[in-house]
Amino acid sequence: MKWLLLLCQLLLLPLEATTVVVHSSVPANSLSQSQLRNIFTLRQTQWPDGSPVKIIVLNDNSPIHQRFCREQLRLFPYQLNSIWDKRSFSGTGRRPQQVDNIAAMLALLRTEPGAIGYVEQYTAEPAIKEVRIE
Amino acid sequence: MNKQLLCTLALTWFMLFSTAVAADDFVWQGFAAQGLIRAADSSYVNNSGKTSAALTELGLNGRYRLAPDWHLAGQVVYLDGGNRYPQGGRLDYLFLDWALYNAADWQANMYFGRFKNQHWLYSETRDVPFTRPSIILPQSVYFDSFRDIAVGTDGVALQVRNSGNYGDLTFNWSFGTVPVSREQSRQLLGQQTRGDTRMNHDHKASLYWQSLQSRFSYGIVIQEATFDYRRGSTELLSNASFTSQRVMLTARYQSQYWQLSAELQQEVVTTEGFFLPQFTRKQFGQGGYVMLQYYWSADLRLFTTIDYAVIDKDDRHGKKLQQMTGGAIPSYFGYQHTLNVGSSIDLNQSWRLNAEVHWVKGAGRLAPVIQPDVARNNSEYWQVFALQLMYRF
């Protein structure tokens, strides 16, 4: 059944890559895939200027979140969750802020310096910038 | 740690941080779990073997940003696990976290105070019901009676991380000691002992590699701990020293719908004294487990574990143990093998229900370990049924 659903998804829905976006204060225009993974797995917690990284993610059951995890991080959502639990319950890290939808993510990205998140389609605006993944 | 001190610490913690600091600098979370457990034909949970509610876990933790590179983190818990570990409150960890280097490819953190054991696959999360794979973890590695000794250490620790095209590498090192209460000492050595146990040092190092090209990760752990026992004035036992040296290999494979994890360990336990002043013994214990978890859906997970432990690798069936003690300790105290199946259901983001059953052969991982409770554990085969409802906030 799962394979059938996956096949339907592949045939019917064009898979758009997610776009990584950050608050305009973030001193980076591009990140390597390894850096992006380091950030979302709470290994790198600061931007190059020393300011804290603030991660914003959608809920686990969001198809955009699932696609972001697979395509950009090469991880499954449960793996990320387990890493976040491990870091936050051992006191060595802080769980990312979870939001319900893209509108809430954009709202936080506009107001939180150091914030990083992702969207399906980026529309240029002054407070948020796109980050290239190389 | 006594309850008054624990309450004071917890209250101070929250008075200091929950109101007086910016919300962004302080984060906290907690968990509460209650269950039912039954381990007939053994003293694993209680002495009666009847269904018990001694499966209570409450915890509260917080992390406060003191400066961009410095954090203070702590967790207090209350546990009631019956005979599995001493009942009461504990300070699981309270440490300063210094991010001494934090760049794109390299990061390093040092921890000062009481920090969590970061070396095993589930050692950081074994005390949090939501984050461990099963209610009871494989006893070959996560021996319940050693819970308080294995969860955290008072001292200093270092973690260095590097990432590149080869994947992610994490190196952990820690050195320190763990206070051993008289209750814990009796649980490990024997309820009739009257002396005190002190840990001299606990030294651990581990290296983990997660490949980017595959879904495998691998790890190696080495550790050494030494203990002294000072006999009570009225007992016939002698002063003693115990040394435990463990080497462990870990591997994990994670796919979209299932996960396989395994940890294998060999532990050399050297005993000098205790039964007699001139008594010496060196035992090579071995053990390990393989756990398969299947994610049936986003909310339902099924799991099964095969766990294997022998106290002495040269006496896998416990025959020498029985002979050496003149039959006083039956052979099945020389090993403990377990098959476990279970499931967990996420009722929503805050609630989870876990249920599992363990079929056990042997009593080698039942406390106390030095002087086994032969009278209460008079069956080679026994089972554990456990059901636990968990809430996180």
Listed by start position, the domains of chain A span 16-133
Confidence label for B175 from pLDDT (cuts 50, 70 and 90): very high
Separation of alpha carbons B344 and B347, rounded Å: 9
Residue range B293-352, pLDDT digits in tens:
999 998 999 999 999 999 999 999 999 999 999 999 999 999 999 999 999 999 998 999
**Domains contained in chain B, CATH given:** 97-392 (2.40.160.10)
Phi, psi at B36, each rounded to 5°: -120, 140
| Contact check, Cβ <8 Å, B97/A48 | no
Question: Which residue shows structure tokens 């210094």?
Answer: B98
Tell me which chain B residue has its CA closest to the CA of residue A62: B298
Question: Which residue shows structure tokens 């400066």?
Answer: B67
pLDDT of B182 above 50: yes
Report whether B125 contacts A86 (CB < 8 A): yes
Residue range B32-62, pLDDT digits in tens:
999 999 999 999 999 998 999 999 999 999 9
Mean pLDDT of B266-281: 93
Residue B321: C-alpha distances to residues B202, B307, B332, B370 (Å): 28, 21, 9, 12
DSSP A52-79: BPEEEEE-TT-HHHHHHIIIII---HHH
DSSP B118-187: -SSSSTTTTT-GGGSSSSS--TTTS-GGGHHHHHEEEEEEEEEEEEETTEEEEEEEEEEE----HHHHHH
**Residue A6 has what pLDDT?**
52
| Contact check, Cβ <8 Å, B212/A34 | yes
Confidence label for B14 from pLDDT (cuts 50, 70 and 90): low
> How confident is the prediction along chain A (134 residues), in pLDDT tens digits per residue?
555 555 545 444 445 589 999 999 999 899 998 899 999 999 999 999 989 999 999 998 899 999 999 999 999 999 999 999 999 999 999 999 999 999 999 999 999 999 999 999 888 899 999 999 98
More confident residue, B288 or B85: B288
Chain B residue set in contact with A, beta carbons under 8 Å? 27, 29, 61, 63, 65, 68, 71, 73-75, 93, 95, 97, 99, 102-105, 107, 109, 111, 115-116, 118, 124-125, 128, 130-131, 159, 161, 163-165, 168, 212, 254-257, 295, 298
Q: What CATH number is given for A16-133 in this structure?
A: 3.40.190.10
| Contact check, Cβ <8 Å, A88/B29 | yes
Residue A127: C-alpha distances to residues A30, A121, B31, B209 (Å): 17, 16, 37, 38
